[in-house]
Amino acid sequence: MLFPGSQHVDHVGLHGRRDRMVWDYAGFHRFTIVSKDNDFRQLSFLKGPPPKVVWLSVGNAGTDLIGDLLERSHQRIAAFLEDPEEGLLVLELSPPNTP
């Protein structure tokens, strides 16, 4: 498993809760939030860590593309998590190859 200890909001009883509640829970439990939701990116700017935020700038990409992006970015994510100064990591899908 690339990201041991990962939890989905559904599994910790936060499904449908306000972003601020997820933010507070993640900060208290030292989780990193991984989300496409721009509100978490904005909270990261306003409040700073904890929690850290991995913001997925992927539009309407499906779970398979997002899973591939997270796998390809594993080393970058690990370095981000180790850096005490960084609070936000933006991951984007690579643009399609054009001739």
Residue ranges covered by each domain of the chain:
9-92
Q: What is the pLDDT of residues 46-86, one digit of tens each?
A: 999 999 999 999 999 999 999 999 999 999 999 999 999 99
This prediction's pTM = 0.90
Residues 55, 60: Cα–Cα separation, whole Å: 14
Q: Which two tokens stand for residue 58?
A: 């992927």
Helix (H, G, I), strand (E, B) or coil at 89: strand
